[in-house]
Amino acid sequence: MSSQDVLKNASTLASYNVLLQVMFRVLTFLLNAFTLRFVSKELIGVVNVRLTLLYSTLVFLSREAFRRACLSGESGTNRSWRQVINLLWLTLPLGVLWASLLVCVWLWFLEVPDARTIPYYGPAVVLFALAGVQELLAEPLWVLAQAHMFVRLKVVAESLAMIAKCSVTVVLVVFAREWGLYIFSAAHLVYTGFLVLCYAVYFIRFLGSKESAKKKFPLCRARDLLPSRTDAEPWIDWTLARLTWSFFKQSFLKQILTEGERYVMTFLNVLSFGDQGVYDIVNNLGSMVARFIFLPIEESFYIFFAKVLQRGRDVESQRREDVAIAAEVLECLLKLVLVIGLIITVFGYAYSHLALDIYGGNLLSSGTGPSLLQCYSCYVLLLAVNGVSECFVFAAMSQEEVDKYNLVMLALSVSFLFLSYVLTWWAGSVGFIMANCLNMGLRILHSLLYIRRYFRPSQWKPLRGLLPSPLLLLALAVSGVVTAASETAFCCDSGWMLRLVHIGVGAVCLICVLAAVVFTETRLIQFVMTQLLPRYRQKGR
């Protein structure tokens, strides 16, 4: 498969993932707004912080290293998929082991919520762990689908699962509110069950079909999806297993950095369950764009960089055309996420209070809610740059470099936990975001230094993508001043007419900023239209 074909497939995957994440975040957004009217913020805090942390920790530590290792390197036609499948099935016993350990910690070592306000905590812990193990049943199928660019399968499976989860939650919240945590446990089990079912049904129907033969799919029967051994080769590829171990050590540290504030809240009790609930709601609102735009781009283009570049080789040892397209894509991606991040930062500052007031009323717009969301809008800018820069770095690093970076991640993890505790003690929940910003800045610095060193012997300088045009910077600066003044004058306790005026001012400023992007960032616009928007790409075929 040529580099251009890989780019087209990665761009298609990114586009579908963005649409999928948009739908997920809209559904979650509406679901949270609905449940806020029926359940307490303490219950939301336990579900969204403690139980979700249990699930995410179990799943991430069980599968993330396998995903990164098995999607790295050359295309699937040049590897033994029998060995890959065998390796991926190790996620299941690993998940059972993590589930056993984490359930013991969550039940016996953490503070148990009051059963009168938050009932059925113990069974909910077990059910959330069971949901995580259940999702791991689909892991070999997920990697097969990603490696062979079955983008529609992911969209359909996760869409159906999310719709089922939301439907169960709404029905039980309305008609069985007394079930407490059972509501959210049942909904999560339905979600993971639908994921496994959709992937299983698809591959059972696909394998052995004419379409499978036409695409020269490496597996022929549904039985090939199960672990098995042949006499001609070892049970697993030990080189791939060692790479998985390297990523596993790194994934443990990355999980601490990703969910660090939840670990601090859960294990150090720096915030009450109610405050945890408010923080998590604001955190989800602030990270919506980061999750439904930046994360899908990072996941999809990690696959692109991993397929185009040969891991562990310097730039002079790579094919010239592969390096050229990788540098061009990296530069355009850096520019794209930086522009989006700057827009979110500028407009997020002036519209945080209004957004929280519309979404959750005084429960969110009073107290620290607006300041939390304003700080998070700045943090999104760092998330944007870090996601793209790290997806390139992790795809290009050798196994030895990955091992060395584990030491960097260890230092960042320790410093993050320390800063989170100190800054939270000093500034409350805002301290979590401040600690995240400091650590994200250090991660970006490391990635940028690696990229600069990687491309230094070549003619390509992709870090130029971090330099927006002067006109765009001027438009952003003026918009920031104007919208801040508009918030002071028209928002947010002056009635809906003045709020609409504030919204109108923001709309005009946003149009001016987008016009500056269109007129000054022509290369970026061409990249988005030809690579990230499927309808434009379909025209060009």
| Residue 332 to residue 476: CA distance in whole angstroms | 20
Task: Name every residue whose Cβ is closer than 8 Å to that of residue 130 and which is 6 or more positions away in sequence.
Answer: 99, 189
User: Do residues 107 and 47 touch, judged by C-beta distance below 8 A?
Assistant: no
pLDDT at residue 181, rounded to an integer? 92
- What is the percent of the chain with per-residue pLDDT over 90, rounded to a whole number? 25
pLDDT at residue 111, rounded to an integer? 87
| Structure-block tokens of residue 338 | 């930086």
Which of 135-149, 234-248, 407-421, 423-437 is the most confident on average? 135-149
pLDDT at residue 540, rounded to an integer? 38
User: Do residues 41 and 277 touch, judged by C-beta distance below 8 A?
Assistant: yes
pLDDT at residue 497, rounded to an integer? 82
| Residue 298 to residue 184: CA distance in whole angstroms | 29
Per-residue pLDDT of 320-339, as tens digits, reads 888 888 888 888 888 988 99
| Residue 72 to residue 128: CA distance in whole angstroms | 30
Mean pLDDT within 60-66: 91
Residue 459 — very low, low, confident or very high, per pLDDT cuts 50/70/90?
confident
User: Do residues 468 and 521 touch, judged by C-beta distance below 8 A?
Assistant: yes
Count the neighbouring beta carbons within 10 Å of the beta carbon of residue 426. Answer: 10
User: Do residues 428 and 485 touch, judged by C-beta distance below 8 A?
Assistant: no
| Structure-block tokens of residue 274 | 């109610």
Per-residue pLDDT of 272-317, as tens digits, reads 887 788 788 888 777 776 666 787 778 778 878 888 888 777 777 7
DSSP H or E segment with residue 424:
helix 399-427
Sign of CA pseudo-dihedral 167, 173, 176, 180: positive
Task: Name every residue whose Cβ is closer than 8 Å to that of residue 481 and which is 6 or more positions away in sequence.
Answer: none
> In 3-state terms, the chain is what percent helix, strand and coil (to 5)?
80, 0, 20
Asked which of 75-89, 113-127, 143-157, 222-236 is least confident by mean pLDDT, the reply is: 75-89
Asked if the model's pLDDT at residue 381 lies above 60, the reply is: yes
pLDDT at residue 479, rounded to an integer? 95
pLDDT at residue 516, rounded to an integer? 94
pLDDT at residue 412, rounded to an integer? 81
Q: At residue 219, what are phi and psi to the nearest 5 degrees?
A: -110, 150
Asked if the model's pLDDT at residue 44 lies above 60, the reply is: yes
For the CA atoms of 252, 254, 260, 266, the dihedral, rounded to the nearest 10 degrees, stands at -30
pLDDT at residue 292, rounded to an integer? 67
pLDDT at residue 536, rounded to an integer? 35
The number of residues making up the chain comes to: 541
Mean pLDDT within 375-385: 88
CA 243 to chain centre: 22
Task: Name every residue whose Cβ is closer than 8 Å to that of residue 275 and which is 6 or more positions away in sequence.
Answer: 45, 429
| Residue 445 to residue 454: CA distance in whole angstroms | 14
pLDDT at residue 77, rounded to an integer? 43
> Among 195, 396, 239, 250, which residue's Cα sits nearest to residue 315?
396
Looking at residue 165, its amino acid is K
Asked if the model's pLDDT at residue 490 lies above 50, the reply is: yes
Asked if the model's pLDDT at residue 413 lies above 50, the reply is: yes
pLDDT at residue 539, rounded to an integer? 37
> Among 9, 23, 534, which residue's Cα sits nearest to residue 291?
23
Asked if the model's pLDDT at residue 193 lies above 70, the reply is: yes
| Residue 199 to residue 222: CA distance in whole angstroms | 12
User: Do residues 194 and 157 touch, judged by C-beta distance below 8 A?
Assistant: yes
Angle at the Cα of 142 (from 137 to 144), degrees rounded to 5?
A: 120
pLDDT at residue 276, rounded to an integer? 84
| Residue 336 to residue 333: CA distance in whole angstroms | 5
| Residue 298 to residue 291: CA distance in whole angstroms | 10
Angle at the Cα of 407 (from 296 to 433), degrees rounded to 5?
A: 50
Asked if the model's pLDDT at residue 225 lies above 90, the reply is: no
pLDDT at residue 60, rounded to an integer? 92
> Among 380, 390, 370, which residue's Cα sits nearest to residue 339?
380
Which of 44-53, 132-141, 418-427, 442-451 is the most confident on average? 132-141
Which position has the higher pLDDT, 31 or 20? Answer: 31
Mean pLDDT within 357-371: 76
Asked if the model's pLDDT at residue 461 lies above 60, the reply is: yes
Per-residue pLDDT of 464-475, as tens digits, reads 777 888 999 999
Mean pLDDT within 495-518: 90
| Residue 125 to residue 131: CA distance in whole angstroms | 10
Mean pLDDT within 393-417: 81
Mean pLDDT within 496-513: 90
Sign of CA pseudo-dihedral 219, 222, 226, 231: negative
pTM attached to this predicted model: 0.70
User: Angle of helix 320-360 relative to helix 369-396, nearest 10 degrees?
Assistant: 160
Asked if the model's pLDDT at residue 380 lies above 70, the reply is: yes
> Among 217, 192, 219, 248, which residue's Cα sits nearest to residue 68?
248
Asked which of 93-102, 142-151, 516-525 is least confident by mean pLDDT, the reply is: 142-151
Mean pLDDT of the chain: 83
